[in-house]
Amino acid sequence: EVQLVESGGGFVQPGGSLRLSCSASGLLHDDSVIAWFRQVPGKDPEGLSCFTRRDGSTYYRHFVKDRFTVSSDNAKNTVYLQMNSLKPEDTALYYCAVLLKERGVQCWLYDIDYYGSGTLVTVSS
């Protein structure tokens, strides 16, 4: 079993930055994928990025590619989501998720094995 804990959310003004953390514990495989999602109440979740542990690569959703960056600290089993130039429409609950096995670059299209509970990001002036 894998446990995921997100942190780093909060309130930020438009144009600001936040860095979210996703700490994973439990049995992760070398070819596991760690994804970031966000969800606004009443809307479907949006997949944002897919980090592949095997080679450290990340696939981004097109609408965040130029503003969000994923990094990792393998020693801490933690993946980060650096979010820059935040906009009010980025306001959402952000959560990370794990696919125990790679299935495709757009990992959000596949069944997720584990979810975290999320951290709230509010972008407002």
Mean pLDDT score, 4-11: 97
Residues 114, 108: Cα–Cα separation, whole Å = 12
Cross-strand partners of 99: 33
DSSP class of 43: S
CA 21 vs. chain centroid, Å, equals 8
Residues 7, 124: Cα–Cα separation, whole Å = 19
Mean pLDDT score, 27-54: 92
The pLDDT score that the predictor gives to residue 26 is 83
Does residue 125 register a pLDDT over 90?
yes
Under the banding of pLDDT at 50, 70 and 90, the label for residue 104 is confident
Mean pLDDT score, 10-20: 98
Could you tell me the two tokens for 58?
């990340």
Mean pLDDT score, 11-36: 92
